[in-house]
Amino acid sequence: MKTRSFSPAEMEERVARFAGMKPNKVAFVDTRLPDHERDIFNMIGYGVNEDPNTKPAIADARSFTVTHNGCHPGKGSALHSHETIEVFIPLTGRWSVYWGDEGENEVILEQGDVISVPTGVMRGFRNAGDEYAVLIGVIEGSNPPGVQWHDKVIEAARETGLELDEEGKIKASRTPAE
């Protein structure tokens, strides 16, 4: 059987070099909230990103997207849900994945552990270690539907001047200083 042929240069276009990536600090409506400030690196595909200006390292995503989330201790994603399965894998550090309508349940993940959060479950994550760490997020689908945020997150984000438009993308209603 003959397989596809890729030159080294063509394959290099499909390599995401983490060291050379610049983080998106406003990829989601919760990222202006103090407990949810984080660096988001779209490695493969756009994922459920809410920033219409996002440029992933590898745009050709088929059946899954990969994002790296980096943040300082105590910070991470606010409560949200997806219509897709979401997988978390700590690349570095120790992470809390919490879930439930008010985030009342929690599991701690160590480096290399994996959790698969089912669809429709309200979930969030936070760096449970004592230094900056990176968590890998994998979402099924090439063009997955957007995030459904907990009502409290939407209200708090609105106070920072961020809202979502009809398509689920971030729009600034005002700057935080206003």
Reported as a single tens digit per residue, the pLDDT across 86-122 is: 999 999 999 999 999 999 999 999 999 999 999 999 9
pLDDT at res. 175: 53
Note if the pTM is more than 0.85.
yes
Tell me phi and psi for residue 100, to 5 degrees: 115, 165
Q: Coil, strand, or helix at residue 152? A: helix
Q: Where is pLDDT greater, at 162 or 9? A: 9
Q: Coil, strand, or helix at residue 21? A: coil
The CATH homologous superfamily of the domain defined by 25-165? Jelly Rolls (2.60.120.10)
Let me know how many helices (H) and strands (E) the chain has, helices first: 2, 12
What is the token pair recorded at 167?
């398509």
Q: What integer is the mean pLDDT of 75-95?
A: 96
